[in-house]
Every structure is written in C-alpha cells, then in structure tokens.
Amino acid sequence: MSTAPRTLQDVVFVEGVRTPFGKAGDKGQYFETRADDLIVKVIRELLRRHPELPPERIDEVAVAAATQTGDQGLTIGRTAAILAGLPRSVPGFAIDRMCAGAMTAVTTVASGIVAGAYDVVIAGGVEHMGHHPMGEGADPNPRFVADRLVDPSALNMGNTAENLHDQSPSLTKERADAYAAHSQAKYAKAAANGNISPDLVPVATRSAAAGWGLATTDELPRPETTVEGLATLRTPFRPHGRVTAGNASPLTDGATGCLLASTEVAAELGLPVRMRMVSFAYAGVAPETMGNGPIPATEKALAKAGLTIEDIGLIEINEAFAVQVLAFTEHFGIADDDDRVNQYGGAIAMGHPLASSGVRLMTQLARQFDEHPEVRYGLTTMCVGLGMGGTIIWENPAYSGNGENV
C-alpha cells in the first residue's frame, strides 16, 4: 500500500495583537471584565485585520493560562473560539507552561504546521491575575520540600530572583534598578513614537461604580521612574534584599494572540509574512534560580539553528525581574543597555500577564523587524516558573542583506 509523500512546512508569523495590559486587583481597569472576554476580543481582532482569511480555514485555537480555573478555565481555547464566533468546526485547547504558556501554544501548533497537520492556527494566552492570583487553588506536593527535591524558595518567584542576586554578586541592585529605569524610559519613547498602539485592540470595560469605559492604553507604565526613586523602595522578599516592586514586573491582567500559517498557505490566501520561525528550544534549570532558564534555552535554540548570539540582531526577553535579564545578558557578553535588547521596553514597564506574555514578545519583535531590514535574525525568550526557559529564533522576511547580521 503506497502512502502520499510528506513535505515539512515552514512556519510564518502573520499577525500578533494584544489587549492593553491592566493593573491586577480591584483598582485595575479589567477587575469587572471576564478573562475569557479578553481573549475573545483578541481573536476577533485577528480576524478583523485579515478578512482575506476564511474563518473555516483555521485549524486550531491554542490558548494558554497559568491558572486554569474560573473564567479562564474550561478548555479556554475551545470556549474562546466558540465565543469569538468561529465556526463550530474549529477546535481548540488549553495549555500551561506557567509564564511560557503562550510561547508553548505557539511552538505546539507550529509543530503541527511543520508536520502538515495544520495550515493556519491561532495561538495566544490570557491571564487575569486580579481574578486568579498566581498559584490560586494549587496544592504543591509536600514532598517537594520534605524530600528536598527543590529549595523552599523555588515556590516563590520573588525569592528565586533574590537567589540570582546571591548566585552572581556582579548582578547588583544598582544595576537592576538602572535597568528597570531604562525599561520605563524605552517604553515611554516607544509609546510616544507610535510603536505600541498599533498592536493593541481596545477593550470595553465595565465598573459597577464608574459605568462603562474603554481600555486603549497600558495601565502600568511609570514614565517618571528614576534610579534614585527605585533605590528607596522596600524589598518585600527579604530584609535588606535587592528585589523590589520597581525592578520586577507588576501583577497584570491581559490577553495576547497571533496568527501562524505555513508559507504555502500564507501565499495562497495572501496573508502577510511578518516573521519566519527558525528554531525553538526549552530547557530546565534549578527551580530555585528559575531566572537562569533563558540561558540554556537560547544556547539550545542557537545550536539547532546553526547560529551564535552574534548573529542575533534583536532580542525580546521577558522582564519578570531585572536581575533575570541581567543574568542572561551577562552570560552572553551583552551590555546592560545594549540597543538590541527590548527596544520598546519590557514587562517591568508594561506588565507581565503570565501565560500571555510570550506572544507579546513576538508581536513586538515583528514590528522591530519592519523597522530594521538590516537585521536578519531575532529571538524571543523568557524564564519560566519551577525552573525552565524557552526561546524561539525568528528570521526577518524584510532582511535587506545590507547589515552585519547574516
């Protein structure tokens, strides 16, 4: 019995959008907005921006959430697809890899495209930390601590950041504060230059006290931030510690989503190609220093692509904590203020809605590729709770061949 020939497909990033990010808690703009409504808004916006894509051609909807309960539970990829008005023939699923949830949603469905199982997919993530704080309802097995499988600090992300400072004395609080202030300044500049708003979808909000509103901008940035001001903040995770609310990402509500397709189907349907996926990798590290995760993940992804860090012209790294970014840049010999890193600022300024942040990194990298045809390769990377890291390497389809990046 003969079988049809199988050809591996290239994966392209077509479009990425996100909601404005909001403060988690009862003072935040989304406190009375459902998490599933946030991701529904993102899915609808992707379809609105691409009328050339017949909705029935979408093969899968993968949505991540780190806390899969309540209004971000119930197999949210499927429920969000139905709520967004996609044909009932379009399936969906939920996925979790803590902070790298949306990144894992992307690489999971991308693998399906490579194998020929999918043509066009939607992948993203949502996290309503105001409704569902990190770890809500979790019941970690006591053997983790009793059998000394992990250090007790591994279960608290702020403590893992303090451990990174301990591990590398060169990663001082002063450097972390300087990095955090620079992130805020870069975000403010990017917002003023119109580099943030094109990726945002406005969201109608409701408050019993204030009535209806419209979220159009990120709620968390503090452009007035100074190094001097950061130096005065308390260290909640350890007396006389080095991690503060100012050099860490704030608690955040928000959703992200993207369209991915095979190269052939993108051409068939006339979909734009913003980036091409080159390689990806995940790696494990000691849970108590989970911030090191992007280092081995990036080394693996570079090796799979046959590249080195010198080939990478743009880097989008999630700023869970400033010290985690500095551990990455110091390992690879990159200056704290290198222009390749987080050109629009990062999570310290705009927020980190856990499982959704991976696609936010990709959306920003795609926009930076548009601005930098001299850059051929970029990467998105992030640390992951319980001691992991994830990295995806992307190629710029607008590469002109005139830069040093080859």
Kindly report the number of other CB atoms within 10 A of residue 216's CB atom.
12
- 195 alpha-carbon distance from chain centroid: 17
258 is catalytic: no
Beta strand pairing call for 275-284 and 312-317: unpaired
Please identify which of the residues 132, 182, 352, 372 carries the catalytic annotation. 352
CA distance 236 to 366: 36
Exposed e or buried b for every residue in 129-142, given b needs 16+ CB within 10 A? bbbbebeeeeeeee
Residue with tokens 């190094």, as numbered in its chain: 227
Spatial separation of the C-alpha atoms in residues 216 and 249, rounded to whole Å: 20
Contact of 377 with 298, CB cutoff 8 Å: no
Between the CA of residue 262 and those of 62, 105, 253, what are the distances in Å? 16, 16, 31
In whole angstroms, give the CA distance from residue 55 to residue 36: 19
246, 180 Cβ separation under 8 angstroms: yes
Q: Is 99 a catalytic residue?
A: yes
**Catalytic site includes residue 352:** yes
Token pair in block for residue 98: 């803590």
Owner of token pair 């969906």: 92
Q: Which of 50, 99, 165, 182 is catalytic?
A: 99
In degrees, rounded to 5, the angle at the alpha carbon of residue 14 between the alpha carbons of residues 9 and 20 is: 140
Give the CA distances from residue 30 to residues 58, 129, 130, 256, in Å, rounded to whole numbers and listed in that order. Answer: 29, 10, 8, 15
**Structure token pair of residue 202:** 């406005």
Cβ atoms of 120 and 261 closer than 8 Å? yes
Total number of residues shown for the chain: 406
Joined tokens for residue 64: 């991540």
Q: Among residues 131, 165, 182, 383, which one is catalytic?
A: 383
* Residues labelled catalytic: 99, 352, 383
